[in-house]
């Protein structure tokens, strides 16, 4: 059933949840592992998952694997999850997230693979970054014990199940609440070409690889939009900025009213500064989630510890921690951010196979560049 309800998210709830998470989401194990955590089965899944993860933890410590380095585009935000939740449950392992996206991500992995001097143990990256990593043989396939029957592989894995996405960037529309009422904000993707929004929008470029093009290419693939829609969007006179952060700041300061392609995690950060901004989600005409795929780096120094972290990211407590900062959990039945339903209840856009990504993007980028040269 397609969801038509749209509402402005309340950031106070996110702040309260984050404080609660930092203070009590994991009751803490000074000896390590989950044996003395009364809520382990609830927080981690069930007894078999707890046992498997405890064994990984013991094996990692025995092997001297006490650090994990993660590369990905959302690692700055996710560091609080590692520090406030994972490290409370597994205190002898330190996780460091390294912000790396696009060319920077590719350059780091290329250099480390060539030299054999690996820094990254795990990656958590978008589709356009993970596909080349798999193709180049940089990823060791791994399926966590707790994804079967809980995560839709067709949506959140690759055809060989080498990588799995524990969470996704959540896309909607950012708007200035001083300049636009909630009732007047767009409700769905087709609304963005309404003439009443002409001259009001700003965004990062859509005619090159990036988050906004990622949204457009999936909308094209799903058949929600076409070349006619793209031409109409071009006629809206969008003010393009160098990046999404600059566009968001333009809305926050009131220079513009609306960013049509924006993520919930960044909205929550902006809202927490006191900026007069609102966020439209879920979107009519289909929900776009941009998955962050987890992959074990082949030849890394800490593979056992990395397997523990990847497995943990699919547990109920980790899924909740991701939702608290605006990322959408991938596990069926786990609540979405800000009181939204679980992912299996969303009206998601038609999913595509990672095997088809390159051909799909090549075709769709050509279509986008016709409207946005």
Residue 340: predicted pLDDT: 97
pLDDT in tens, 319-361: 999 999 999 999 999 999 999 999 999 999 999 999 999 999 9
Q: What mean pLDDT is predicted for residues 3-8?
A: 36
Instruction: Give the pair of three-digit tokens for residue 6.
Output: 């749209």
Residue 25: predicted pLDDT: 33
Residue 32: predicted pLDDT: 54
Which of 84, 57, 83, 32 has its CA nearest to residue 307? 57
Instruction: Give the pair of three-digit tokens for residue 263.
Output: 């993520």
Q: Are 220 and 367 in contact (CB under 8 A)?
A: yes
Residue 11: predicted pLDDT: 34
d(CA 272, CA 270): 5
Residue 161: predicted pLDDT: 97
Percent of the chain at pLDDT above 90? 88
pLDDT in tens, 19-65: 233 333 333 333 455 544 448 888 999 999 999 999 999 999 999 99
Residue 39: predicted pLDDT: 81
Q: Give the range among 31-35, 118-122, 235-239, 294-298 with minimum mean pLDDT.
A: 31-35
Residue 68: predicted pLDDT: 98
pLDDT in tens, 199-209: 999 999 999 99
Q: What mean pLDDT is predicted for residues 152-161?
A: 97
pLDDT in tens, 165-223: 999 999 999 999 999 999 999 999 999 999 999 999 999 999 999 999 999 999 999 99
pLDDT in tens, 73-101: 999 999 999 999 999 999 999 999 999 99
- β-strand pairing of 122-125 with 67-72: parallel
45: left (phi over 0), alpha (psi -120 to 50) or beta: left
Q: Are 204 and 241 in contact (CB under 8 A)?
A: yes
Residue 14: predicted pLDDT: 35
Is the pLDDT reported for residue 251 higher than 80?
yes
Q: 2 falls in which pLDDT band (50, 70, 90)?
A: very low
Cis peptide preceding 282, ω within 30 of 0: yes
Residue 172: predicted pLDDT: 98
Q: What's the length of the chain?
A: 373
d(CA 87, CA 76): 16
Residue 156: predicted pLDDT: 98
- If you ran DSSP here, which 8-state letter would residue 302 be given? -
Which domains are present in the chain?
12-168+290-346 (3.40.190.10), 169-288+356-371 (3.40.190.10)
Residue 40: predicted pLDDT: 83
pTM above 0.85, yes or no: yes
């Amino acid at each position: 059933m397609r969801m038509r309800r749209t509402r402005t998210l309340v950031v106070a709830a996110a702040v309260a949840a984050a404080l609660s998470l930092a203070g009590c989401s994991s009751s803490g194990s000074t000896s390590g592992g989950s044996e003395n955590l009364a809520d382990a089965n609830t927080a981690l899944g069930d007894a078999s998952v707890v046992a498997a993860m405890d064994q990984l933890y013991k094996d990692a410590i025995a092997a001297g694997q006490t650090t994990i380095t993660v590369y990905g585009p959302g690692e700055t935000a996710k560091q609080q999850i590692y520090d406030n939740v994972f490290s409370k449950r597994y205190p002898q392992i330190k996780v460091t997230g390294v912000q790396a996206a696009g060319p920077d991500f590719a350059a780091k992995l290329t250099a480390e693979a060539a030299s054999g001097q690996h820094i990254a143990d795990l990656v958590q990256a978008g589709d356009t970054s993970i596909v080349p990593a798999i193709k180049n043989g940089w990823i060791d396939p791994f399926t966590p014990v707790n994804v079967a029957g809980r995560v839709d592989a067709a949506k959140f894995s690759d055809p060989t199940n080498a990588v799995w996405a524990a969470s996704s960037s959540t896309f909607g529309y950012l708007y200035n609440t001083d300049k636009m009422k909630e009732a007047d904000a767009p409700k769905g993707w087709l609304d963005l070409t309404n003439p009443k929004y002409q001259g009001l929008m700003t965004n990062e470029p859509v005619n090159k690889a990036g988050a906004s093009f990622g949204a457009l290419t999936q909308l094209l693939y799903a058949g929600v939009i076409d070349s006619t829609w793209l031409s109409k969007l071009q006629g809206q006179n969008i003010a393009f900025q160098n990046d999404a952060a600059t566009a968001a700041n333009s809305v926050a300061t009131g220079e513009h009213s609306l960013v049509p392609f924006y993520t919930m995690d960044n909205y929550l950060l902006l809202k927490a500064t006191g900026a007069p901004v609102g966020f439209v989600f879920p979107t009519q005409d289909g929900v776009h989630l941009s998955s962050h795929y987890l992959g074990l780096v082949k030849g890394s120094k800490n593979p056992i510890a990395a397997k523990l972290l990847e497995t943990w990211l699919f547990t109920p407590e980790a899924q909740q921690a991701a939702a608290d900062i605006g990322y959408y959990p991938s596990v069926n039945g786990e609540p979405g951010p800000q009181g939204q339903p679980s992912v299996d209840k969303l009206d998601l856009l038609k999913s595509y196979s990672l095997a088809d990504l390159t051909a799909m993007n090549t075709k769709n980028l050509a279509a986008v560049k016709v409207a946005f040269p």
